[in-house]
Amino acid sequence: MITKKVILTGNFGVGKTSLFNRFVHNRFDDKYLTTIGVKVNKKVMEINGEGLSILLWDIAGEVTQDKVPVSYFLGAAGIIYVFDLSRPLTYANIGKDLEHLKEMLPDSVIRIVGNKKDLLSAEELEQSLKEFPFDCDITTSAKTGESVEDLFTKLGEALLERV
C-alpha cells in the first residue's frame, strides 16, 4: 500500500470541505461552515489493481495567506486547487497562488478543479471556462457528486505513475 498526502486549497467558500466530505464520506451538507486550521482524513482506493491510501488535508484559507502555516503544505505529493465556477473572483489570484505552490512543492501533481458545476447551465459553464485564465483539469459538483470520484481516481493514477 502506497500512502500519499494530498492537499485541497483555494479561496474561501469554493467547496473544498464539500469535496472533502463527498470523497471521504460520500455526503454533502448545504450549511457553510468555515474550516478553521486543517481537517485531515484518509481514504484507501484501488487504482489499476494497486492500493493507494490518500491522506487528504482540507486547508482553511487561501494559499498565500499568512495565517496558513507553510508546514500544512510540506510533503504533499498532490495539490487540488479548487475554484468556484460561479464566482470569477475566486480565481483572481490563481496565477500567484500556483506560482507559490510550485515553488513550495515543485514535484507535486497539481489539479485545477472548477467546483459548483451544478449552479450553472451548460452555456454558463462554457462561458465561465472561457473566462478562466488557466486550463481547468476537471469540473465537479460536490453537491451532486458529479466527477468527484473521477477527480481523485485520475489524481491517484498520476501519483502512482511517479512512484
Report the candidate in 100, 106, 76 with the shortest Cα–Cα distance to residue 8: 76
Check residue 62 and give its pLDDT. 62
- Amino acid making up residue 8: L
Beta strands in the chain (DSSP E): 2-10, 38-47, 50-59, 78-84, 109-115, 138-139
pLDDT > 60? residue 44: yes
Highest mean pLDDT among 51-60, 68-77, 128-137, 147-156: 147-156
User: Position 71: which residue type?
Assistant: S
CB 33 within 8 A of CB 12: no
pLDDT higher than threshold 70 for residue 61? no
pLDDT for 93: 87
Q: Could you say which architecture CATH assigns to the domain 2-161?
A: 3-Layer(aba) Sandwich (3.40)
- Write down the mean pLDDT value for the chain: 91
* Residue 122 pLDDT > 70: yes
Radius of gyration for the chain, computed over Cα atoms and rounded to the nearest angstrom: 15
CA angle 48, 138, 152 (to 5 degrees): 35
Tell me the angle at which helices 148-161 and 16-25 cross, rounded to the nearest 10 degrees. Answer: 80
Tell me the pLDDT band of 148, cut-offs 50, 70 and 90. very high
Contact criterion met (CB below 8 Å) for 52 and 44: yes
pLDDT at 55: 97
Tally of residues, the chain: 163
- DSSP symbols for 103-123: HH-TT-EEEEEEE-GGGS-HH
Rounded-to-integer distance, Cα 139 and Cα 107, Å: 24
Q: Exposed, middle or buried by CB within 10 Å (0-12, 13-18, 19+), for 80?
A: buried
Q: Tell me, what's the pLDDT at 39?
A: 85
What average pLDDT does the segment 104-130 reach?
96
Residue 118 has, within 13 A of its CA and on its CB side, a CA count of 10
Residue extents of the structural domains in the chain: 2-161
Greater confidence (73 vs 5) lies with 5
